[in-house]
Amino acid sequence: MAAFTRHGAMPPDSPVVVSVPHAGRDYPAALLAAARVPMATLALLEDRHVDAVALGAHGAAQGTGTLLIQHAPRASIDLNRAEDERDPAVDEGAAAGATRSAKVRSGLGLVPRRVGTATMLWRRRFTDAEVIRRIAHEHRPYHAAITATLAAARARWGVAVLLDLHSMPPLPGVGRAQIVIGDRFGRTAPARLVARIEAAAVAAGVRVALNVPYAGGHLIERHAAPRSGIHAIQLEVDRALYLGPGLMRPGPGFAATTALVRRIVAELAEEALAGEALAEAAE
């Protein structure tokens, strides 16, 4: 099976490109054999069924943009980490003495070593060859596809927007946010795009936070180029919005969440094209 699937026309029929990097459920037998925990524990790393939300929002209609969905699981390799975020605790090829990011130190590097309270996911360290193969077959092709699709959207529409879609466990506290918009504190997208997402969510009765506790990761940082007309935003959606009790299967809120994501994509496309028209008029 291919590591990811791309849905939508080429060239893109919208400036918006949706990415779903953490919902993969294709667990190779060799990966499961290396695990010291049950598959159900590895699955806790997934953005469970947010790919179904994205597919429902994408649909078959024209103008819904391009959608990329990764099938390889996050337990194998995390597409939201840089290639050099390799953890020596689980990766024999991790460079000795290299600077470790906060994510690597916390056990959530390129190959995760923990989830929740599990202190170690794997029976052994993976060889350099194993990790290099995952980078070559799972990590690089996905990022190359995003780069190519954004370039095609930018060439056709004059602007492109990457919406990196994730899901999160319910945040603690009364009145907690149900959607977190991440733009790396304003570095990866203009405020007007973020405002359109926020307005769509508020109109749907959904509580919103900006950049806290999720500001966006490697994926939007890598692909955003605002000065070249390529913007990137991470969207974290509370799983309780679209999953049923136990947060394992789609629930009563699935249709409403799908409709909200569809509306967000439409709002982003409209705002991106309006901003491009204003820029052209000012030249």
pLDDT in tens, 245-255: 999 999 999 99
User: CA 270 to CA 219: how far, in whole Å?
Assistant: 23
Kindly report which listed range (8-12, 192-196, 266-270) carries the lowest average pLDDT score: 8-12
Query: Domain containing 257: what range?
Result: 4-282
* CB distance 51 to 58 below 8 Å: no
pLDDT per residue over 42-77, tens digit each? 999 999 999 999 999 997 556 678 999 999 999 999
Of the chain, the percentage scoring pLDDT greater than 90 comes to 87
User: CA 167 to CA 26: how far, in whole Å?
Assistant: 18
Is residue 256 scored above 80 in pLDDT? yes
Q: How many domains does the chain have?
A: 1
Q: Read off the CATH number of the domain in which 231 is found.
A: 3.40.630.40
Entry pTM: 0.95
pLDDT at 208: 98
* CB distance 27 to 42 below 8 Å: yes
User: CA 71 to CA 113: how far, in whole Å?
Assistant: 20
CB neighbour list of residue 20: distance below 8 Å, 6 or more residues apart: 47, 50, 51, 54, 67, 68, 69, 70, 165
pLDDT band at 277 (very low <50, low <70, confident <90, very high): low
pLDDT at 175: 86
Residue 173 backbone zone (phi > 0: left; psi -120 to 50: alpha; other: beta): left
pLDDT per residue over 16-43, tens digit each? 999 999 999 999 999 999 999 999 999 9
